[in-house]
Amino acid sequence: MSAHGASSAQSPLLTRVSAAVGLAVVFALLLAVQRVTPHFEGPATLIAAVGFLLLGGMLAAQLLEAIGLPHLTAYILVGVIAGPHVLHLVDHEAVRQLAPVNTLALALIALSGGAELRTALLIPLRRSLGYATLAHSVFGTLAMSCVFIGHSRALPFAREQPLPALCGIAALWGVLSVSRSPSATLGILAQVRPDGPLSRFALAFVMSSDIAVAILMTLTITLVRPLVDPISGIALSDLAELGHEILGSITLGGTIGLLLAIYLRLVSGQLLLILIALGFGLTEGLRYLHFDPLLTFLMAGFVVENMSEQGPKLLHAVEQTGNVVYVVFFATAGAHLDLSLLARLWPIALGLATGRVVVTIIGHRVGSRLANDEPIVRRWGWAPLISQAGLTLGLSAVIERAFPSFGTAFRSLVIATVAINEMVGPVLFKLSLDRTGESGRADLTRAGTS
């Protein structure tokens, strides 16, 4: 065992047997304790849940790696199985109390996402990114709105709406559909360590599309409000608030990035504590200021990477902290999946998810042809765009607050669809990286240059 790499490792078979035995022991221990004290309530449940999700996720990932499943899917599966809808080893209350882990994880994801966006990577891709953003934002949103209208007869909250309101709701669905999952993308990239045109495109597009989706969503909410609620008008103040949020987040993120770069250069120790303090403390401050944490951390990481030489140090520290945090984050996301809701809505959710895959493929092909992308990107570039997770759920919560008349039912449908995309997306992305031969190439490139 070493801090950075491998040493005297045992055989993969023995490692998997150990992981299987360990997983069985962990499950057995928690099941036994639950049988002995079924009525216990208190912080111990939460502590055991975190330990279980961390350990179970890690061991399940080792086991499922043998059949080519991504680690992330294994984490989610463990969460689903242990969660309140299956074995009930992790209850609803524990899942709710684990929300701070999500805060920290999202901060780390955004920070490392920003640090991965090197200008040297973005400049050659600017044409691809521009056309892809245009294709998905315009064609993707419109096409998914049509898909939603096509399904509206099966949706109680939509079928009784007058046509203008239905169009408004469909537009919201359309924008939500073009949101991606930065966490899933980074999770897969961290696991398979790829290098090549596909992984570069995926990283750059998924990270930059966050900003586009945030702007598009605010615009759409502002524009569809009069359609859904005829007595309300278009509030331009919403646009001003959006401008304040984006500019403020970018400015503050840049400042934090500079400070972080100075710290990394002059001190650089105890980075774990610094990252935890930033993840929790700064996110709280950003919420108070109505700035976007994702954009702020993204900018901070971007500045550290592109305006200093401290990027690799930051990425290494985030990777070390993230290894633990991401497992709990994705396993909690799995435990959070409402399986009973999915069981009720699965035919519609499946229809919408399938429609989204088709629209994403077509949108990508169009954008890719216009940008004259490399054949690998043209063929497989849609695969990283299928995953959806926290960002989409967060946006659906915004819609629920903005449109209380249908927001709750709308959000339930979003959750059911995200559940499918969350399970299928990472598998498709990993498959595409394996097929294109990009998996593991980052290590080879690094070894070649050192």
Min CB(339)–other proteins separation in Å: 24
Token pair recorded at residue 78: 């463990």
Token pair recorded at residue 286: 């950003």
The tally of CA atoms less than 13 A away on the side-chain side of residue 145 is 21
Q: Say if CB 260 and CB 300 are below 8 A apart.
A: yes
- Structural element, H or E, at residue 249: helix 236-266
Nearer to other proteins, 234 or 267 (CB): 267
Nearer to other proteins, 7 or 449 (CB): 7
Report if residue 35 touches other proteins, rule: CB under 8 A: yes
Residue with tokens 């605010």: 218
Query: 231, exposed or middle or buried, with CB in 10 Å at 0-12, 13-18, 19+?
Result: exposed
Per-residue contact string for residues 319-358; x = within reach of other proteins by CB under 8 A: xx--xx--x-------------------------------
Report if residue 30 touches other proteins, rule: CB under 8 A: yes
- Of the listed pieces 162-170, 225-233, 317-325, 345-353, which binds other proteins according to CB under 8 A? 317-325
- Of the listed pieces 64-72, 189-197, 278-286, 383-391, which binds other proteins according to CB under 8 A? 278-286
Report if residue 66 touches other proteins, rule: CB under 8 A: no
Q: What is the DSSP track for 169-211?
A: HHHHHHHHHT---HHHHHHHHHHH---SHHHHHHHHHHHHHHH
What are the angstrom distances between the C-alpha of 58 and each of 40, 73, 79, 233, 328? 27, 11, 11, 51, 9
Residue with tokens 């079928």: 159
Min CB(73)–other proteins separation in Å: 18
233, 281, 347, 437: residue in contact with other proteins (rule CB under 8 A)? 281
CB-CB neighbours of 404 under 10 Å: 8
Residues 4-23 that bind other proteins (CB under 8 A): 4-7, 9-10, 14-15, 18-19, 21-22
Report if residue 266 touches other proteins, rule: CB under 8 A: no
Report if residue 415 touches other proteins, rule: CB under 8 A: no
Residue with tokens 């897969």: 188
Nearer to other proteins, 240 or 272 (CB): 272
Token pair recorded at residue 411: 């959000």
- Of the listed pieces 75-83, 138-146, 277-285, 412-420, which binds other proteins according to CB under 8 A? 277-285
- Structural element, H or E, at residue 346: helix 339-371
Report if residue 58 touches other proteins, rule: CB under 8 A: yes
- Of the listed pieces 47-55, 66-74, 161-169, 395-403, which binds other proteins according to CB under 8 A? 47-55
Min CB(115)–other proteins separation in Å: 18
Report if residue 46 touches other proteins, rule: CB under 8 A: yes
Token pair recorded at residue 60: 């399940």
Per-residue DSSP letter, 389: -
Report if residue 87 touches other proteins, rule: CB under 8 A: no
121, 276, 362, 409: residue in contact with other proteins (rule CB under 8 A)? 276
Q: Say if CB 184 and CB 425 are below 8 A apart.
A: yes
Q: Say if CB 183 and CB 329 are below 8 A apart.
A: yes
- Of the listed pieces 24-32, 65-73, 299-307, 378-386, which binds other proteins according to CB under 8 A? 24-32
Q: How many residues bind other proteins (CB under 8 A)?
A: 57
Q: What are the residues binding other proteins (CB under 8 A)? A: 1-7, 9-10, 14-15, 18-19, 21-22, 25-26, 29-30, 33, 35-40, 42-52, 54-56, 58-59, 62, 269-270, 273-274, 276-277, 280-281, 284, 319-320, 323-324, 327
